[in-house]
Structure 1
Amino acid sequence: MEVRDSAAVKADTKKVSSRVLEMLALEGKVTETGAMTMRCSGFDADEKVYRARHPWSVYDASFADMRAAFDRLRGELPKNGWKIVKDGPDGTAGKSPQIVAESEGGDFAVDARLHEENRAQNAPALLTVTVESACYKGSGTS
């Protein structure tokens, strides 16, 4: 397993997220969350094995525009070296459309979901994206 600096992995993850946002080409507001470091599951607690994770959402756009952007992402990911490994409803009660893709080389994964507005729960329409790095061995503090 590759030894990497957590700050560098978080920066790379954020760059990949920015590229996914460009592929969406969706005008709306984007939540401003930063990439974070978390432990990879399946490793002993004393092993310093991490991944970077960058979740964000686009909101304040019409659902029709979000759907078009989601469809655009479906076409753009393979053109940009990504392999779509899932394209269908997620496991939620609402069965939101979900695309899961892995980058060439397996360095990153993206999980995109399209959520319709739910007025009963006062939830706006959202296009959510989470980009995760592959697991790496930390070279210092996370």
Structure 2
Amino acid sequence: MKIKVGAAALLMSLALTTVTGCSMTDAEESDSPPFAGIATTSQAADATEKVSSELYDLIGLKGKATEPGPGTNACSGKDPEKYFTTFHAWTFTPASPDQLDGVMERLREELPKHGWKVVDFGPDNTKSRSLTLTADNDAKKHSVKIAHWAEENPPKLNLFVVSGCYQVPDGEKVR
């Protein structure tokens, strides 16, 4: 799946700015994501979907996740035919609204046990002051921003997973 321009590109730019923490940045280019390796867009999307699935398992609650799969976007400042990032935005709605009580604090404790470094935790700047958690996984070259939308009916978690910058194999182009 390739998302080209419009709202998805704006969302990706904002997400890379807010999601990518210090440990996920290259020393040379602090505004761009780290190099994630060489992969086809399909292989990279599969890796991002796997990271999302692992996060779903870490949530540890029964409920429903939205279905849209990962998308791709260009890496800032790099050749868009050769370099790309993947992202996966999804929402988790628990079977029972009260199940989300304490889930963000539990994730804050559990994520580091699974290779994640929590780089930000606290209320966001929205009117609802949603509790958010941003974490990086250097080994997987992915970051996640999780927001607990407690004011929604029903309450839910919103997750935005983003990869580092991939390069397509020689002779291929970003699809």
- Smaller-chain TM-score range? 0.7 to 0.9
Q: Normalized against structure 2, the TM-score is what?
A: 0.70
Are 2:68 and 1:33 equivalent residues in the alignment?
Answer: yes
1:24-103 superposed matches below 5 A: 24-41=59-76, 43-44=77-78, 48-103=82-137
2:165 counterpart residue number: 135
> Which residue type is aligned with residue 66 of structure 1?
L
> Which residue type is aligned with residue 59 of structure 1?
T
May I ask how many residue pairs the two structures share in their alignment?
Answer: 137
Q: Normalized against structure 1, the TM-score is what?
A: 0.85
Runs (4+) off by over 4 Å:
44-47
Separation in structure 2 between the aligned mates of residue 114 and residue 19 of structure 1, nearest angstrom: 18
Cα distance change of structure 1 residues 49 and 114 upon mapping to structure 2, 3 Å threshold: same
Cα distance change of structure 1 residues 78 and 109 upon mapping to structure 2, 3 Å threshold: same
- Of 3, 7, 10, 2:45 maps to 10
Separation in structure 2 between the aligned mates of residue 44 and residue 19 of structure 1, nearest angstrom: 29
| Structure 2: stretches of 5+ with no match in the other structure | 1-34
2:156 counterpart residue number: 126
Separation in structure 2 between the aligned mates of residue 46 and residue 109 of structure 1, nearest angstrom: 21
- Hey, which of these two has a bigger chunk of strand by percent? 1
Separation in structure 2 between the aligned mates of residue 46 and residue 34 of structure 1, nearest angstrom: 21
Structure 2 SS opposite 1:34: coil
> Shift in Å at residue 46 of structure 1?
5.1
8 Å Cα contact 1:26/1:69 also seen in 2: no
- State the identity %: 33
Higher mean alpha-carbon deviation, 19-28 vs 60-69, is at 60-69
Q: CA RMSD in A?
A: 2.0
> Shift in Å at residue 106 of structure 1?
6.2
Structure 2 SS opposite 1:105: coil
Partner deviation per Cα, 1:64-116 (whole Å, 9 max, x = no partner) = 31133322211110001110000011222211100000003360001101002
Separation in structure 1 between the aligned mates of residue 80 and residue 65 of structure 2, nearest angstrom: 36
| Structure 1: stretches of 5+ with no match in the other structure | none
Structure 2 SS opposite 1:117: coil
Separation in structure 2 between the aligned mates of residue 50 and residue 116 of structure 1, nearest angstrom: 33
